[in-house]
């Protein structure tokens, strides 16, 4: 498996992986995937990756800035999605590890993730990449009419922002 910079050429496969993740009901509050232009404009340009094996995308990871305010320039939210057939094979852990390394090169000092409490696999790969649970947001939003809790995880860099 190779990890590459995610570009527009990967979008059809990345979009399908994103849709598959949303279909699980444990990935995201949104029920729709944006088009490429919207996705591209909301994600950090130099911190987005796709895992490729035998010419096929197995997963992707990217950062989204949490605020336009300059004091939060080094803080971003993590997204990691893995194709259904590649889940449980370490793809997400490797993508997240690469994302962490790249984020520090670009002066991100804090990465955060908000993960549905039921998504144990995602929580685990974050913990394996030095994220720590900092809280639980109970009944923070409804998905398909059901209140959901999210677990808030954070990773503070020991290289950037010190």
Structure confidence by residue, pLDDT tens digits, 70-87? 888 799 999 999 999 999
User: pTM of the entire structure?
Assistant: 0.93
Cβ partners under 8 Å of residue 145, min gap 6: none
The pLDDT assigned to 25 comes to 87
Percent above pLDDT 90 for the chain: 86
Q: Which domains, and CATH codes, for the chain?
A: 2-156 (3.40.630.30)
Express each pLDDT in 7-19 by its tens digit.
Answer: 999 999 999 999 9
């Amino acid at each position: 498996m190779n990890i590459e910079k995610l570009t527009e050429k990967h979008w059809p496969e990345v979009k399908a992986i994103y849709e598959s993740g949303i279909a699980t009901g444990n990935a995201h509050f949104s029920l729709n995937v944006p088009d490429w232009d919207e996705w591209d404009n909301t994600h950090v340009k130099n911190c987005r990756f796709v895992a490729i094996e035998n010419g096929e995308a197995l997963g992707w990871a990217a950062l989204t800035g949490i605020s336009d305010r300059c004091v939060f320039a080094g803080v971003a939210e993590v997204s990691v999605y893995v194709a259904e057939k590649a889940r449980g094979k370490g793809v997400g852990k490797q993508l997240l590890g690469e994302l962490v390394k790249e984020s520090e090169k670009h002066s991100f000092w804090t990465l955060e993730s908000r993960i549905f409490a039921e998504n144990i696999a995602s929580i685990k790969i974050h913990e394996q990449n030095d994220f720590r649970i900092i809280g639980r947001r109970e009944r923070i939003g409804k998905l398909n009419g059901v209140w959901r809790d999210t677990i808030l995880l954070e990773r503070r860099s020991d290289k950037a922002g010190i």
